[in-house]
Structure 1
C-alpha cells in the first residue's frame, strides 16, 4: 500500500475510483456531474491524495482549496474507500499524509461537512481534532409536491450578474457553506442561472440556481421586503427553469428559522442534517 498525490492521475481513473467507493449510495453522479462538482468546490489534484494498492486507488480524499472566512482553507470535496478496504483506517492515513503538503501550500484550516447520522465518521473526525462549527439542514422535494401559494406582487424578476450587486450579502441570515459560497459560484458561473427580484428598480432579492442538478445555491430576500411574495416569485422561476424532477437546497443553517419556515411553507421539508466541522492545521 502506498499513499501519494493524485496530481498526475487521469480524470477517468479518479471517476472510476469515486464510482466504486460510492456504489451503494442512493444518489449517483455520472462523470460530467462529478467533474462539475469538483470544479465548483475548487478541486486541486496536486493537493489531493489517495492510497494505492498496486495501480488501484482504494481510498482517496479530493481536496478543494480556497479562501474561507479570509483564511486559505482546504475543503473535503469527497472522501471514499472501496468496500473491501474499509475498516483499515486508510482514510485517516490519507488525511494525515496530506497535512504537511497542505501546510507547505499555505493552508491554515481544513473544513468538511458530514452527515449527522454517519456517527462513525463524526467520531473519527472528532478524534483527529475536528470541531463542529455549524449544523445544516438539507432539503429535497419533488416538483409536483411543492405547494406554491400565488401572491399578488408588484415585483418583477430578471437575470442579473450577482457580482455587480454588492448589497446581496446584506440579505443573508447566515454565511453560505463552502459549496454555496460566492467563490464557488465564481468558479462555475456558466452553470448557474442568477435571477434578481426588483421593486421598481431596486434589487430586493435574488437566487442562484443550477438547472442541471436542481440545486438552489443561494436564495435571499431583503429583510424589509419579506413575506410579500418575493421569495415565492423566485421559487416559481426556479421551478419553471429547472431540468430535473426535484429541487434541493443543501446546507441551510439550522438556526435560520426564516429559511426553514419559508421552505416548509411550500412543502419543501428537511430530509437530513449535516455538521460543518473544522480543524486548524
Structure 2
C-alpha cells in the first residue's frame, strides 16, 4: 500500500460523498448527498485548499477546508475530517494537516479553526499537539417538533413579525450575546441565501429581533432579541415562525455559547434537551 497526498480540486462530489460516508459509517452520523452539499456550501468549502490521502485512486482520508473571514481575520475552517476505518491509526490526519498548511499560508490565511466534541479526548489531544488551542465551549440541541413546549405567549401590541432578507452582520450581531460560530455567521448564510428563511420582529417599524432557519436541514441557525425587549414573547414568536418553515420533523440548534445563559435557558424551557457539547479550537499562524 502506497498512500499519496494531493489537493481535492479534481475530485468529483460523488467521490467526496462516498469517502465521507465510509469515514463515518461506524459513527452515529447519517447525512444525505444533499445535506453534505448544503453543509459544504454554507461552510465555504474550498477544494483547492483541501487535501486527501489516496490509496491508488481511492480517497481514504480527507480534510475538507472552508475559507472566509472570522472575527476579522482570513480563516480556514475544518469542515470535516475523516478516515476510513481500515486506514486509521496510521497518522494520516496529522499528515493531512501538515500537507494543508503551506497552501493555506500562501493563500493568506491567518488562522485555522475547527470544532470537536468535548468527549472526543483522542481528537482533542491530537489537535493540541498540532498547535490548536481551545477558545470557546458550545452547546447543541436537537428535538422533534412534536416534543417541543413553546410558552403560550403572544406578541404585544406594537410588535410584528415579517419575512425579510438576511440582515447585515453588524445589525444582527448587535442583538446577540456572543459571536456566532463559523457556520452561523451572516457571511455563511449569504453563501447560499435561498436555502434560509429570515424573520424579523419590529417594534413600531424598528427591528428588535431576528431569526434565521435553514429549510431542508431543520437548523435553527440564528435567534437574537434586543436586550431591551426580552422576556415579552419575541423569542417565542420568532422560534415558532422558524419552526413553521423548516421541512423536517426534527429541529436542531447547533453551537450556542455555553455561557449564553439566557439563550440556553430559553431553549430548555421550549423543550430542547442538551444534546452535547463542543469545543471551538484555533491555531494562529505566525
Higher mean Cα deviation, 26-35 or 79-88? 26-35
Distance in 2 separating the partners of 1:259 and 1:169: 14
Find the counterpart in structure 2 of residue 230 from structure 1.
234
Distance in 1 separating the partners of 2:52 and 2:168: 40
Aligned length: 281
**Deviation, structure 1 residue 24:** 2.1
User: Residues 135 and 47 of structure 1: is their aligned pair in 2 closer, same or farther, counting only changes over 3 Å?
Assistant: same
Paired residues for 1:240-279 under 5 Å: 240-279=244-283
**Deviation, structure 1 residue 152:** 3.2
Unaligned runs of 5+ in 1: none
Among candidates 128, 144, 161, match of residue 146 of structure 2:
144
Kept after mapping to 1: 8 A contact 2:7/2:50: yes
Paired residues for 1:39-54 under 5 Å: 39-54=41-56
Find the counterpart in structure 1 of residue 174 from structure 2.
170
Find the counterpart in structure 2 of residue 66 from structure 1.
68
User: Residues 31 and 165 of structure 1: is their aligned pair in 2 closer, same or farther, counting only changes over 3 Å?
Assistant: closer
Higher mean Cα deviation, 54-63 or 160-169? 160-169
Deviations 1:24-60 (A, max 9, x none): 2323111111111000000000000011010011110
SS at match of 1:84: helix
Find the counterpart in structure 2 of residue 132 from structure 1.
134
SS at match of 2:277: strand
Deviations 1:162-205 (A, max 9, x none): 33685322101000000001110110111000000122211110
Among candidates 184, 189, 203, match of residue 188 of structure 2:
184
**Deviation, structure 1 residue 227:** 0.3
TM-score, structure 2 normalization:
0.96
Q: What is the RMSD of the two structures over their aligned residues, measured on CA atoms? A: 1.1
**Deviation, structure 1 residue 160:** 1.1
Among candidates 109, 112, 121, match of residue 110 of structure 1:
112
TM-score, structure 1 normalization:
0.97
Distance in 1 separating the partners of 2:128 and 2:12: 33
Among candidates 256, 276, 284, match of residue 280 of structure 1:
284
Distance in 1 separating the partners of 2:65 and 2:25: 20
Among candidates 3, 6, 11, match of residue 8 of structure 2:
6
Find the counterpart in structure 1 of residue 99 from structure 2.
97
Higher mean Cα deviation, 145-154 or 208-217? 145-154
Unaligned runs of 5+ in 2: none
Among candidates 199, 203, 211, match of residue 203 of structure 2:
199
Distance in 2 separating the partners of 1:169 and 1:215: 18
Distance in 1 separating the partners of 2:144 and 2:29: 15
